[in-house]
Each structure stands twice: as C-alpha cells, then as structure tokens.
Structure 1
Amino acid sequence: MSQALTVLPVIFWGVIVLSVLVFAHEAGHFLCARISGVRVTEFFLGLPCRFHLSKRSRTRGTEYGITPILLGGYTRICGMSGSGNEYLAPILAGVQKHGRVAVEELATEVGCTLDEAYEALAILVDWASVEPYYNPELGEYEHQDRWPQAFQTVARDSNLLTIYDAGHNLDHADSYAAGTPQPLADDNAEAFFETERSHTYQGASFPRRLLMLFGGPLASFLTGALLIVIALSVLGMDAARNVNVVGTITEGSPAAAAGLQPGDVLSVVDGTETSDFNSLAAAISDASRDGEPFEITYERNGETYTTTIVPDGSGYIGITAPIERLRMPVQDALAFTFEYSAQVIDFAVRLFIPTQTMEVMNNASSVVGISVMASEAAAAGPAQLVLLAAAVSLSLAFMNLIPIPPLDGGKILIEIIGAIRRKPVSVRAQNIVSMAGLAFFVLLFVVALQNDITRLMG
C-alpha cells in the first residue's frame, strides 16, 4: 500500500505535466493550420481512442474532445499523408455524381482495382472530401476495423464548401446534404479535385506548410517562456537572505541548547564581527573547529545578549538563513528563457557529435524521470512545478526541431528538400527515413529509461 501511495503522485504529476505541454504543442499546429486555411477535423487532449468525450464546432466542424489516454494530445490536419494516387480526381467526381456509391461500382466506372479505389477513398476521407457510409443492414458500424462497402458525399453549401471550410453556410436553402448527388465546380473533375486539395496540407503553399510544422515548436517555446515568467516573476522563488539573522533553529542543536531563537541578529561570533550570513557561517565554522565552547553575541528586541555555544563536532550549530520570496523582473525571466534554450540546443547538437553522443545519452531522462521530477517539484511548491514544466516545454520545442523524421524538424527538412528539387520527396523515401529516425529515438528512450531506473534504484 505504501509503495502504491508513493507511485500514484509520480504518475499523476507526470501525466498532468506531459499532457498539458504536448496539448499546447499540438495547439500550435492546430492554430497554424487554421491560419493557413487547411481543414482540421479533430483536436483532442489525450491520445487517439475510440472511447472519448467530444463536441463538434458548428462554425468550423472540428471535433474537440478528451480521451482517457491522457498522455499528450493530437490534432488531425487533413492531407498530412501522401496523395500520389492517380485515381483521386475521377473517384472524387464519381462520389459527387452518385451521392452514395459502392466501392466496387466506383472502381468499375473509373477503371481501377478495388484496392486502388479503397486507397484513393481513404485519402479523400482524410481530406474530409468524402465520408464512409456504414450500412447497418450489412452489419457495418462506425469504428469497425475495415472500410465499409460504400462511400458518400459530405454536406456542402451552395459554393461546395464543407463545414471545415471558412466562409461556409450550410443553413442556406441551396445547400447539399451528405449522401446526395452534388455538382462539380465548373463541371470539371480536375478543377474540383484541385480545389479540394487546396484545403489540405498537401495542397498548401510551401510557406504555409512550414508555418504548420513550425507551429508546434513555436507554441512549446512560447508556453515555456510564459511559464518561466509565471514561476520567476509572478509566483517567485524562495531564496536564502544573506543577512546575519537566524531563520530557523534545528531542534536539539547547539543553537537550541544555547537559547537562540529565529529572528536573533548574531553580531559577534567568538570575537569575530559578522555582517551577513556568509561571514556568520565562516565565523561559526572557525570557532567550532577545535571543539571548544565559544560565545556568540546577539540582539533580540533591541537588547544585546551573550550566550555560549557548545559544539557537537559537526561544524554546524543548527541555524539556517531566513527565507524570502524573490520575484524576478520580467525581462530577467525572459533572459533566463533564452539561456536555458541555448543549453537545450547545445544538448541537441552534442547528441550528434560522435565523441559526445554516449555522454549526452547517459544524462537523458525519459517520461519516468520527468514524472519523478514533476512529483518532487509539486511537493516543493507551485513555483518549482511551473518552472519544471517550463523546462520540459522548452526541451520539447527545440528537440522537436532536430532534423530527423518523424519529428517536426525532420518534416521541415523533407519540405525544404522537396522545394529545392521542385518535386515532393517520395512517400517511400519518407517512410524509410522515418523508420530509421523512429528506431534512433526508441534507442534514446531505452537508454534514458535505463538511466532513470538506475537513478531510482541507486
């Protein structure tokens, strides 16, 4: 039972800190996608799960919600996956023409295989251009582990805008209901397809794609900076005052036995005058060295007294400096933000210097270590917890910019390479690089987890 009570706060604070920070990171991607005019179908606190609580926005269609897997968050931006299927335009046109159509019939019309039709439809569903139709008479149901046998149109207004598009008006009398035949813009399948693609990540311009990818790290950086200002400038941090005044007395210590009390001003120690706590500590250390009793002169309530200290051999007499709450100017807190950011960048750079890689990895912490630190910080006070969250958020910002897929920095690198080559990097090449990057970060996680376990056991 006692072990469970020890572990529960670690899990609780780890989940809280990581969920909030990852959610803020995803919010950056979400807002930048919105600014870029790209469709966003989901924005959730927690990892994807079929069991969730959610509400759909009536103005932009995005489903906002929370899942029981509170280990971060996610945003579903349309068109993040590849769109190289050659049958996308005719299949989209076919669904528009029929309103609701069986995949087998659609494949026959277009002249492609059933697998190619399903592949194209899956991409169009991801774009929110069409939607699956689950027929209960065939035993089909939403969230089943396979696609249904038919797909249908989505609701559109008279300008063929969906609920996810800015400026739509689905309440207009000329709007089209889901599952009904709908026209093509200018009766041109290719033009309608390109219009739909323009509402997705793949169809966005190069600067807008970079904005969406940078959005997450930028949000994490701003979150970290805000948390540092809150911790250091609003909440403030406890710090020892460098004055020759007693803050606390340890019970049973030489100072307690001599009758000293908190608030006493210790002006002379064994003949040595003191003006601050540093000189006070040095004088006490010198006076205690030979183990002989010595006198301390102190002031209390305007009166001067002298008492005798009998050392116990430890070199300390059992007093601490008084504590005060210090609040840093905002500009100094922001300067601290950039100083810590420089340390994170240095850590990331040294990770890829062969002679320093293992040293850096041996100092890394996993989610377990972060959870333990969060629990300890929460016990120390709100300012310490907020400051730790700020450090994690800044780390999340800059570590995500490492140019290795599947991190944001890796995706940015792929976009830049595609722009230089004037054609997108193939999906196959992206998948290969992403798998290699994922393997590297799995290794890093295992090493960090081992570090955390070693620290906890030691």
Structure 2
Amino acid sequence: MFEILKTVIAFIVIFGVLVFVHEFGHFIIAKRSGIKVLEFAFGIGPKLFGFQGKETLYSIRILPLGGFCRFLSVEEVEEGEEGDQVSREELLARSFESKSIWKRMAVIVAGPLMNFILGAVLFVVAFAFFGVAVADNQNLIGEVSLGKPAATAGLAAGDRIMAINGTETPDWNSVTQQIHTNPGEKMSFTVEKADTKQIVTIEITPAYDQELGKGLIGIAPSYTMQKVSVLKSIQYGFLQTVEFTRQLVLYLIHMITGKAPVELSGPIGVAQVIGEGVKQGMSSLFTLAAVLSINFGVLNILPLPALDGGQLAVMTFEGIRRKPLSIEKKGWIQLTGFALLIALMIAVTYQDILRIITK
C-alpha cells in the first residue's frame, strides 16, 4: 500500500512539474510579447480553486493531466461590453491574434522548448549528484523491459545468464552476441535466479528489430555509477537530451511508416514506469523525469489538432495563404483534435489495463 502511495505521489509531482514548466513557457513568452493572459491553469476539468492576479486568473483544475494558458482573443474583445474606443483598441492590441505570426509561433513553441530544457537540466542534475551509469561487462541482468520476450518468459533484474543453448556466457558481450544473431529462433537460457539462487532453464525467442537488424529480448546490463565533474555533467546532459530526442523522433517515423510496432502508454502505463523508478531510487526518478519531459515536448510538437504542433501547422497554413482561417473553422479543428486526443487516451489506457490483466 505504501509503495502505491509513493507511486501516486511521484506521478503527480513529476507530471505536475512537466505540465507547469510547459505552460510557464507559453505564459512567459506571451507576457513578453504583450499578449494578455486571461488564465493560467494547472490540470483540466472543473476548477478546484484559484486566485485573481492583476490581470490573470491562476487556477488548479480537478484532473492533474494537463493544463492551459488562455489568451485574450479578438472575439472576446469584440463581444465584450461597450467601452471607450481607446480602451478597446488597447485590448485588441494585446489579443493573441493581433500579434505577428512569428510572435504567435514563439509563444506556442515556448511550451515544448521548456520541456526539452527541463529534460536537459534533470539529466545534468542526475549526472552531477548521482554520477554516470557505466555498463558492467557481466552476465548479470540490470533491467528488463515490460512486455518484451524476457519479461514475458519470467526474467528479472538481478538474474544471471549462465549459458545460452548450452554455450557458456561468462560476460555480457557473449550474451548479446548469441541473442543478436538468432532472431526468431527459440533459445534455451540457463539462468541463476536473483531471488532463490536456483539454476533454471527458460526458453525465449528473440524478436527481430527491423531498425537495428538484430534479435532482442528486452534486457539491459547492470551498471555502476561513476562520479563526474559538473562540467562533464552539463556536457553529458546536453548530449543525452539530443540523443534521446533523436531516437524518439526516429522511432515515431518508423512507427508511422510501419517499420516499428505501435507501442504507446497512457497514464496507467506511465504510472507503472514511475513506480519502477520509485523502487530504484532518486537517480532513476530524475532520469525518468528527464525522459518523460522530452517525450512530453516531442508529443506536443506533433502536427495534430489540439496540440501545440497542430496550432503551428494552422499558423503555417495561414501564413502561406496570407489569410487567417475563420474562428468557426479553427473551433472545429480544435474540437476534432480534442476528441481524437481523448479517444487515443482511452485506447492506450485500455491497452495498459489489458497488459496488467494479462501479465
């Protein structure tokens, strides 16, 4: 019960920080661009509580699964109560639509950009305080990926692979060599279990990874933490952010083109991963939060309605045709995108539940 509570708290804190930083990016650039921000909200759904600032309502909503910044629109100014001409012109000048396309794009891009910056900062903090993970060349499993052949067969972190198909595997290189060169073939693993120290035989069939062109079963080696300087931490943090972003974008491209399987996780799946991070300690939590922040940034720049990338796509289209879309069309695009987003969230949550039930 205590582990579940820790997972829930970690999930809320991590997701809360990711959302807050994202929305703060929109907020601060909007303010600097002279756009009036009517509301800065954390969460979605009915408002729990809030307070009115000088010109912005700061609120917390019931579900901590998102957030938003509501900017003053031309429509709201035109539909407002009659005032003097000067005040209306001042308000129109502070509306989102009144700004140049470059300023509006900067406001939208600022959200995902802040998530990339946060990811890099979290990596730097993790490396500076806990060190850099250096793989040991032992036949010891350090991590098992959920849903992969190794996890399905019952392998766990701490297990030691003594032999594969009768051939001894004294180090990690010998383990991976056999797995990589035998995709699709059932293999017999002689394993010393971490919990009981018993020697068992487990049959696993490596899955073929089209991107890498070799067999994989979803295991990673054990690591030791090596202390590094602050400057090295900054260097490694930046490089890790760039590399992880590159891999994620590449995976999305391969997933869209059918070269990689569709593997998405909803809130339940993310909570499971965070739960594993809680068990492994603060170093894993910081690294996991960095990875999730980068994921959040990449997700939001996808050109899908209701996401930041969708708004950028609409602005680009308007810039090319040199004419803005009507408010009605933008409304339908946003509504359709939001409905698709909710449907996708329901679908991936359903898959998360199925994975738990059938595990």
Q: TM-score, normalised by structure 2?
A: 0.68
Find out whether 1:453 has 2:348 as its counterpart: no
More strand, by proportion: 2
2:119 aligned to 208, 224, 244, which one?
A: 224
Call closer, same or farther: CA 1:429–1:63 in 2, change over 3 Å.
closer
User: Shift of residue 401 of structure 1?
Assistant: 0.9
Find out whether 1:414 has 2:314 as its counterpart: yes
Q: Tell me what 1:210 maps to.
A: 105
Alignment: residue pair count? 283
2:285 aligned to 364, 385, 388, which one?
A: 385
**How do 1:230-249 residues align onto structure 2 when only pairs under 5 Å count?**
230-237=125-132, 239=134
Q: Secondary structure at the match of 1:42?
A: strand
User: Shift of residue 313 of structure 1?
Assistant: 6.0
CA distance in 2, matches of 1:74, 1:29: 9
CA distance in 2, matches of 1:433, 1:347: 27
**How do 1:30-49 residues align onto structure 2 when only pairs under 5 Å count?**
30-47=27-44, 49=46
Amino acid at match of 2:235: Q
Call closer, same or farther: CA 1:42–1:443 in 2, change over 3 Å.
closer
2:67 aligned to 66, 69, 73, which one?
A: 73
2:338 aligned to 419, 435, 438, which one?
A: 438
CA distance in 1, matches of 2:268, 2:223: 35
Find out whether 1:9 has 2:14 as its counterpart: no
Q: Secondary structure at the match of 1:232?
A: helix
1:95 aligned to 44, 59, 82, which one?
A: 82
Q: Secondary structure at the match of 1:70?
A: strand
User: Shift of residue 211 of structure 1?
Assistant: 0.8
Is the 1:237–1:383 contact (alpha carbons within 8 Å) kept by the matching residues of 2? no
Q: Tell me what 2:247 maps to.
A: 343
Structure 2 spans left out of the alignment, 5+ residues: 139-169, 176-196, 202-221
User: Shift of residue 67 of structure 1?
Assistant: 4.6
CA distance in 2, matches of 1:419, 1:200: 18
Is the 2:47–2:59 contact (alpha carbons within 8 Å) kept by the matching residues of 1? no
**Percent identity at matched positions?**
26
Write out per-residue CA displacement over residues 150-205 of structure 1, whole angstroms, 9 at most, x where no aligned residue. Answer: xxxxxxxxxxxxxxxxxxxxxxxxxxxxxxxxx433xxxxxx54432110101111
CA distance in 2, matches of 1:77, 1:69: 21
Q: TM-score, normalised by structure 1?
A: 0.55
Larger RCO (CA under 8 A, 6+ residues apart) = 2
2:325 aligned to 400, 422, 425, which one?
A: 425
Q: Tell me what 2:299 maps to.
A: 399
**How do 1:162-173 residues align onto structure 2 when only pairs under 5 Å count?**
none
2:49 aligned to 44, 49, 52, which one?
A: 52
Structure 1 spans left out of the alignment, 5+ residues: 97-182, 186-191, 244-276, 283-310, 316-320
Larger Rg: 1
Amino acid at match of 1:203: S
User: Shift of residue 336 of structure 1?
Assistant: 1.3
Write out per-residue CA displacement over residues 66-89 of structure 1, whole angstroms, 9 at most, x where no aligned residue. Answer: 45543343322222xx73x9xx65
CA distance in 1, matches of 2:266, 2:60: 24
User: Shift of residue 40 of structure 1?
Assistant: 1.2
